[in-house]
Chain A
Amino acid sequence: MSMTEQEILAGLGEIIDEVAGVPADQVTPEKTFVDDLDIDSLSMVEIAVAAQDKFGVEIPDDQLKDLKTVQDVIDYVRRAGVSA
């Protein structure tokens, strides 16, 4: 099963709303987590764990630090989903 970009974006929006209180409609692909969405490194860990549960893809710490924007996560999930 592979998810569409829209499905991943919607799932991420739910996670970020739950974890960090950022309304899902503000979670758009070009946004950066730190500067645009004001999400700190601890919350990024929570988001990564929740994303693993939701999308079924592992995000190791050394990969997590390179995921700067919402689009980065979408691309990562799609790539990992394909190879899995």
Chain B
Amino acid sequence: MSTDRTDVVVTGLGAITPLGTDVASTWAGLLAGQSGVRRLTEDWARELPARIAAWAAADPATLIDRVQARRLDRCEQFAIIAAREAWADAGAQDVDPERLGVVVSSGIGGVASTLAAYDTLKEKGWQRLSPYTVPMLMPNGSAGWISLELGARAGAHTTVSACASGAEAIGYGMDMIRSGRADVVLAGGTEAAIMQLNIAAFAAMRALSTRNDEPERASRPFDKGRDGFVLGEGAGMVVLESAEHAARRGAAVYAVAAGAGYSADAHHIAQPDPAGTGIVSAMGRVLADARIRPDQVVHVNAHATSTPAGDVVEAQAIATALGSAAGGVVVSATKSMTGHLLGGAGAVESVAAILALRDKVAPPTINLEDPDDDAGLQISAEPLELRARAAGPMAVLNNSFGFGGHNVALAFTAA
């Protein structure tokens, strides 16, 4: 604990993912090595090159009030569900509303609502558009709705950086507390993008796995047989809180939200820099911001989406960033099970990293049958115990990268 700045801790977690409708079921599914990937049997998928995806474990509209559901895009429904779980978990209901913030992001936002509204417009005219169309399609809709629900008045924000959005939201939340703008921040990311247009567009980039006949084996980060990512959906949320505020109310603390590191590749709009320079920078910056040494890091929840180019660059960058300490780090790629939640990924994977730290176990990376000839990293093919290797609190990192060249690394340390 530092004396020259405000320490931030994690006091609540929430998630809805392809593996479960809450944190406990998601974490159990991750440790059990379950795949959430399924065949797409819908008519709209028939002509697509990629006909697999990881739907959430339940239709979110069935988990919230009927009237609220019709006013929310599916990604906003996920966000509300995960936010409620995290908020109840934190038990911080007495926080001053002027000191409570929300940072919730999405990579794409309400694209399903946009498309449905366009169909209505063309077929029935503007008069038939829902008056909630704009709040459903705007990417900041989730942040707005959650701020309404919690009465959060310190600020409601949305950091959009494609697949790094959820992680960036958590970093922004830490900054809100460190800079004195808030005592408590609900932060995370959400996505609901499994639909014809998105799959077609990602397929047009040749970014998706087309292992259509083996859905559960399609997402295989770090495996030589990988051929692209599998689209997933859902949301993850954390409640961040100043350590002082949490201590004052006697809150249970999962972990210290120790730091964030950012960089931009400035290399290509959608391809990784083969040198991994930006990733190494972000990882170096998170260590500095969190004031930890590489040998304190026991686990990295990698971005590792299962694309041929991306995974190898990240593996090399992790090795470079952690140097001689890299060999003792357990690296997990949970997208092997959840698929890629885009703007929800960084948040769900932060939840996983925090629970790995709490339970001292790294989740497996499934489908790792023929690993890359990597840079000497220990990638978990099965759950692995995490042990401290050096003095100081154990630390875990979560990497998230997004099209546009955004790199975000987050650090959590043992409470």
Give residues in A with beta carbon < 8 Å to B. 19-21, 42-43, 45-46, 49
Contact = CB atoms under 8 A, between A and B. Distances in A.
Nearest to B132: A42
Given A20-B67, A42-B131, A49-B128, 12 more contacts: A19-B67, A19-B70, A21-B65, A21-B66, A21-B67, A42-B132, A43-B131, A45-B131, A46-B130, A46-B131, A46-B132, A49-B127
Mostly, the B contact residues are helix
Contacts of B131: 42-43, 45-46
A49 B130 CA distance: 9
Contacts, number: 15
Nearest to B65: A21
A43 B67 CA distance: 11
A19 B128 CA distance: 14
Cβ-closest 4 pairs across A and B = A21-B67, A42-B131, A45-B131, A46-B131
Interface of B: 65-67, 70, 127-128, 130-132
A56 to B, nearest CB: 14
A19 B253 CA distance: 41
15 contacts: A19-B67, A19-B70, A20-B67, A21-B65, A21-B66, A21-B67, A42-B131, A42-B132, A43-B131, A45-B131, A46-B130, A46-B131, A46-B132, A49-B127, A49-B128
Contacts of A46: 130-132
Nearest to A22: B67
B116 to A, nearest CB: 15
B72 to A, nearest CB: 13
A19 to B, nearest CB: 7
A46 B129 CA distance: 9
Nearest to A58: B127
Contacts of A19: 67, 70
A49 B65 CA distance: 22
A18 B143 CA distance: 25
A42 B131 CA distance: 6
Contacts of B67: 19-21
Contacts of A20: 67
A47 to B, nearest CB: 10
Contacts of B127: 49
A20 B65 CA distance: 11
A19 B131 CA distance: 11
Nearest to B130: A46
A46 B132 CA distance: 9
A45 B132 CA distance: 10
Contacts of A21: 65-67
